[in-house]
Amino acid sequence: MKYTGTVKGGVVVLPSNAHLEEGLHVEILPCSPEADLLFHESAAVLPSFSGLPDDLAINHDHYLHGLPKQRPRRGRWIPEDKPAAELTEQQTSDYTGMLATLAAETHNLPPDFSSNHDSYLHGWPKR
């Protein structure tokens, strides 16, 4: 269970719904207000997209930069009987705009976010 408190007069003040046993040992990990805002309050306003191509994860460089497509992994995420759709120039342009918008939302992330995302998101120890 995770609670977020505020330091007032050198004491950590927890929310009223935090019921901890007497004598329980706790660990306090300071975080910046910006990090808390970035990952919690702003999550509701982050863009979400539907209708993106099934092979976007493996072929994002194709959609963003026009590099050759890689073969998608069949059978794990994309059914064997479903062919990868070819996109029109307009669809490619639209998807590039969506990806660029999504990428712009990551400009404040720490440089080690990919390797320590569990630390930033869940408070786990850094690797």
Record the tokens describing residue 51, joined without a space.
């209708």
Q: Is residue 99 part of a domain?
A: yes
CB 92 within 8 A of CB 99: no
For residue 97, being part of any structural domain is answered with yes
The angle at the Cα of 62, spanning 58 to 65, to the nearest 5 degrees, equals 130
Specify if 93 maps to a domain.
yes
Is residue 21 assigned to a domain? no
Which domain, by its residues, includes 85? 31-122
> Is position 38 within any domain?
yes
Q: Is residue 16 part of a domain?
A: no
Residue 116 has a pLDDT of 80
Tell me the C-alpha distance between 33 and 69, whole Å: 41
With bands split at pLDDT 50, 70 and 90, how would you rate the model's confidence at 35?
low
Tally of domains within the chain:
1
| Site of tokens 């497509």 | 69
pLDDT band for position 59 (cuts 50, 70, 90): confident
Q: Is residue 15 part of a domain?
A: no
pLDDT band at residue 93 using 50, 70 and 90 as cut-offs: confident
Prediction pTM value: 0.29
74 belongs to a structural domain: yes
Q: Is the pLDDT of residue 76 over 60?
A: no
Q: Looking at the predicted structure, is the pLDDT value of residue 79 above 80?
A: no
